[in-house]
Amino acid sequence: MTGGLPELDPVIHAQARLRVVAALSPLGPGDRIAFPRLQDILRMTAGNLSVHLRKLEDAGYVEVVKTHQGRTPATLVRLTGRGRVAFEDYTAALHALLNGTAEPPEES
């Protein structure tokens, strides 16, 4: 916290990445979702989703695995433990900010 107001994780705070993390959060810890299904849920282009997944992956919040299902290439996505904690922290900070439960700023 800085100045009494909670900080919002800038990696998650971007609208598209927030939507990605929110869509992945209901999955169980070991569950993965296929890239096309995630793309459909979020109504994002493949390129746009890829860019945001890369940012989340670089932060350690998601894991992207390229594999094959039979002979067909498949890209599977999951929220990591670190990503789950970051999302929980983000939502707690957002609630505190919106509900006015953040500590008042210290006077200088």
The pLDDT tens digits for 65-75 are 999 988 999 99
The pTM of the full predicted model, rounded to 2 decimals, is 0.85
Residue 48 lies in a domain: yes
Range of 10-14, 67-71, 100-104 with top mean pLDDT: 10-14
> Residues 91-107: what's their mean pLDDT?
75
Name the burial class of residue 57, with classes exposed (0-12), middle (13-18) and buried (19+) by CB atoms within 10 angstroms of its CB: middle
Q: What's the domain range around 77?
A: 10-99
Residue 65 lies in a domain: yes
Structural domains counted in the chain: 1
